[in-house]
Amino acid sequence: MIDQVNHRASLLTFRVAIPILLGVLLGGCSSVSAPRFSVLGVAERERTDEAVVLDFTIRAENRNDEPLPLEQATYSLTLDGRRVFSGQRIARVTVPRFGEQQLVLPAVVPADLVPPARFDEGGAMRYEFEGEIEYQTPGRFAEFLFDVNLRRPKASVGLRGTLELGGE
């Protein structure tokens, strides 16, 4: 009977200790500031009868004293209030410590949503580029948690602006 009580007490201690330990370890990873993003430019990369590909050149800023690898980007594009693209892309860049890095994220705008000829007309088109970019915090333990999908921090991307369209 005493063995059963000791066994139950050990299990209870284990069940309480593990979440506390994980909380402390995960909390230690949270001292890293998320990267910030801004649009440097938007350019038409390609055009066919079926779609227009727009490249969004984005500046990522790192305010930390360690480099931040940017991983998976999940984002959408809205033009003049209409969602025209949603997708994912591997970022494949590392933002240096206390520095900036550019990355290009493409968006394919199907012709049935925005006719390619619209990009030749004069005027402007409002855009909203929104999503999240996963980044990896420094340290072996943080890397392990990232790799096993236990902790994948994300930074929001919420960029708005106006596309100046062609025209004569």
Statement to judge: residues 61 and 132 lie in one domain: yes
pLDDT score, position 93: 96
> For the chain, what is the domain count?
2
Beta-sheet strand order (sheet of 68-79)? 82-95, 68-79, 124-135, 154-164
pLDDT score, position 6: 59
DSSP state of 121: S
C-beta of residue 101 within 8 angstroms of C-beta of residue 93:
yes
CA gap 84, 45 in Å, rounded: 16
Q: Which domain holds residue 149?
A: 33-164
Beta-sheet strand order (sheet of 51-61)? 36-47, 51-61, 100-110
Answer yes or no: is pLDDT of 28 > 60.
Answer: no
CA gap 72, 90 in Å, rounded: 5
CA gap 24, 168 in Å, rounded: 62
Mean pLDDT of 139-158: 91
Statement to judge: residues 27 and 71 lie in one domain: no
pTM of the model: 0.77
Confidence of residue 147 (pLDDT cuts 50, 70, 90): confident
CA gap 111, 24 in Å, rounded: 51
List the beta strands (DSSP E) in the chain: 36-47, 51-61, 68-79, 82-95, 100-110, 124-135, 154-164
pLDDT score, position 49: 94
Give residue-wise pLDDT tens across range 40-72. Answer: 999 999 999 999 999 999 999 999 999 999 999
Indicate the average pLDDT of the chain. Answer: 86
Q: Which residue has the higher pLDDT, 43 or 2?
A: 43
C-beta of residue 129 within 8 angstroms of C-beta of residue 83:
no
Answer yes or no: is pLDDT of 13 > 70.
Answer: no
Statement to judge: residues 71 and 15 lie in one domain: no
Mean pLDDT of 125-138: 95
CA gap 88, 75 in Å, rounded: 6
pLDDT score, position 130: 96
Statement to judge: residues 21 and 53 lie in one domain: no
Give residue-wise pLDDT tens across range 67-113. Answer: 999 999 999 999 999 999 999 999 989 999 999 999 999 999 999 99
Statement to judge: residues 13 and 52 lie in one domain: no
